[in-house]
Amino acid sequence: MMENVFMVTGASRGIGAATAALAADAGYRVVRASRSVEESVGDRGWDAKCDVSSWDSVQELMSRVESRWGRIDVVFANAGASVDTSFISDAGAEPAEWTGMVVTNVCGPAFTARAAMPALMRSGGHLVLTGSAAGRGVRPGSLYSATKWAITGLAQAIRAEAVGTGVRVTVVQPGLVDTDAIPASRAGDPKLRPEDVGRAVLYAVSQPSTVDVNEILIRPTGQAAHR
């Protein structure tokens, strides 16, 4: 019997790296996909180069993994980017810098889902997407927040289309997480650890096949709902 395979995008650091480690501890063969790794394949772990903003890159990786390891059971579409923005002032990144974030945060998970779904339908698998608490409320001037609103809608659209396929779809919406992407203005705020979010992902995928955990909102204790 082939062992279950868990793929994580954006796995080189933060939430992705923590979730990949937890998945390995749980007994999965783990594909750790990111743009910045040297390709390395072992019996139970695979560091794979993948740019989620490229449809060809994502599709090619899914094909390679299923060909080599025979199946894909969980795909965690986690890769993302963040830049500060304002629509009324020169604060934050220049508008020319916004495109990369939008493509990575919106097209990336969409490409990942489209490339993964054939394999997940064959395995009766699970698609997990990283949203954000910022995608549940208004954040003045934040295009990043708008991309995470899009992820909530994307997860719902995929789930609706996947009814009857056996594939489960979960969006995990973390509050502030202690990573290198934290704005300086929030350095003193309460923070989740990356592994806190990873445990939420593993909770969702460890439920019986009859249970579909649609959304998980997780904030650090003490974080205000509007932050």
Rounded distance between C-alpha atoms, residue 93 and residue 86, angstroms: 8
Q: What is the dihedral of CA 134, 85, 129, 189, to 10 degrees?
A: -40
167 neighbors 212 (Cβ within 8 angstroms): no
The answer on pLDDT for 226 being more than 90 is no
Q: Domain coordinates of the chain in residue numbers?
A: 5-218
* 5-218 CATH, one of 3.40.50.2020, 3.40.50.720, 1.10.1200.10, 3.20.20.70: 3.40.50.720
| Annotated catalytic residue within 46, 69, 111, 144 | 144
Query: Between β-strands 126-130 and 74-77, what pairing exists: parallel, antiparallel or unpaired?
Result: parallel
167 neighbors 157 (Cβ within 8 angstroms): no
pLDDT tens for each residue of 40-67: 988 899 999 999 999 999 999 999 999 9
pLDDT tens for each residue of 177-212: 988 766 666 767 889 999 999 999 999 999 999 999
Among this protein's residues, is 203 annotated catalytic?
no
The answer on pLDDT for 37 being more than 90 is no
List the single range of 73-82, 103-112, 182-191 with lowest mean pLDDT: 182-191
Residue 42: predicted pLDDT: 87
